[in-house]
Structure 1
Amino acid sequence: MKGLKKRRRIQIIAIAAVSLALATGLVGYAMRDGINFFRSPSQVVDAPPPPNETFRIGGLVEDGSLVRGQGETIIFRVTDGAASVDVRYTGVLPDLFGEGEGMVGTGKYINNVFEATEILAKHDETYMPKEVIDALKEQGVYEPPKSDGAS
């Protein structure tokens, strides 16, 4: 009788371990395309990611770099103060997108150009994504927004 209980307990533990490993594998498989790492322009220039990797890039739109192409194609450069990366985007840009403004884009780095599939711009005149602020602070070029005294 003791042998049967011990064997049953071992079987349950083995089934639980296999189920846990299978569940972990399925979660990892489901998330493989859902996780997009953030990189600053300096990180992209220093260690270019492979062309099949989707990631996020953020910084400031470089002044004088915004060029409207054919149709809805827009080409510009994003910078963190230390390095700049060319960005190409086809689509409608957010209303608050402009030169000298913060942005975050999602896409792939192909042939030294970041091919964006999504562009996010700041929400108001003081908003900047945390990742962009961190990257700018790391480069020593971040300036906190000035308070205008209005509340």
Structure 2
Amino acid sequence: MNPRRKQRLAIVAAVGLLVVSAAGLMLYALTDSIDLFYTPSEIIEGKDGQRPQIGQRLRIGGMVVPGTVNRDSQTLAVSFDLVDTGPKVTVRYSGILPDLFREGQGIVATGVLVDDSTIQAQEVLAKHDEEYMPPELAEKMKGIKHVKPANGSE
């Protein structure tokens, strides 16, 4: 091989190594920012054989169980249970809930897993359209009816 080809090959190899290293570092840096989506059943029973770790950031989606919304009269703290088709998970949140938040309504919360069945949420989003659900959740919930609050309020 002539010297010019060796030089080109070395440059191409160095650039390739830099690109692979940069991609690896970006993926490593993003691991703390990735929020995986879980349903209450997947948190309790596991998702693909693995349960989320305590302290892990995650998103959880489900229906607010009627009668479980507990508000602290002194602060903005609230706790409520979420359910999909199986076990319940408790969500604790401190802040102003969205206007569309109601018992029996679907919500998505972003937070940290505190223990096996409790999430400390930093953000709670109420779905603006009750009819929409992620395809995986809709498949699991076929045929299940959710009871709406009797008086239509929170």
Q: How does 1:7-22 map to 2 (within 5 A)?
A: 7-22=6-21
Deviation per residue, 1:57-86 (Å, 9 max, x gap): 001000111010240110100000322101
The 1:115/1:141 distance shift into structure 2, 3 A limit, reads farther
Matched, 1:104 2:125: no
Q: Which amino acid aligns with 1:118?
A: E
Is there any run of 5+ residues in structure 2 with no aligned partner, and where?
146-154
Cα separation, 1, equivalents of 2:144 and 2:26: 38
Which structure has the highest helix share of the two? 1
Instruction: Write the deviation string for residues 83-127 of structure 1: whole angstroms up to 9, x where unpaired.
Output: 210110011100000100010000111123111111000124x45
Q: Report if the CA contact (8 A) 1:80-1:136 is conserved.
A: no
Out of 119, 126, 139, which is 1:121 matched to?
Answer: 126
Task: Pick from 76, 84, 90 the counterpart of residue 86 of structure 1.
Answer: 90
**Unpaired runs of at least 5, structure 1:** 144-151
Alignment of 1:1-151 (within 5 A): 3-47=2-46, 48-69=51-72, 70-111=74-115, 112-124=117-129, 126=130, 128=132, 130-131=133-134, 134-141=136-143
Contact 1:82 1:139 (C-alpha < 8 Å) held by counterparts: no
2:15 partner amino acid = A
**AA of the residue aligned to 2:21:** L
TM-score, normalised to structure 2's length? 0.81
* Superposed structure 1 runs of 4+ greater than 4 Å apart: none
Aligned pair count? 139
Q: Deviations over 1:32-57 (max 9, x none)?
A: 23321100100001134112210100
| Deviation for aligned residue 1:134 | 2.6
Q: What SS does the corresponding residue of 1:55 show, helix, strand or coil?
A: strand
RMSD: 1.9
Percent of residue pairs bearing the same amino acid type: 34
SS at match of 2:119: strand
Q: CA deviation at 1:142?
A: 5.6
Aligned-partner SS, 1:86: strand
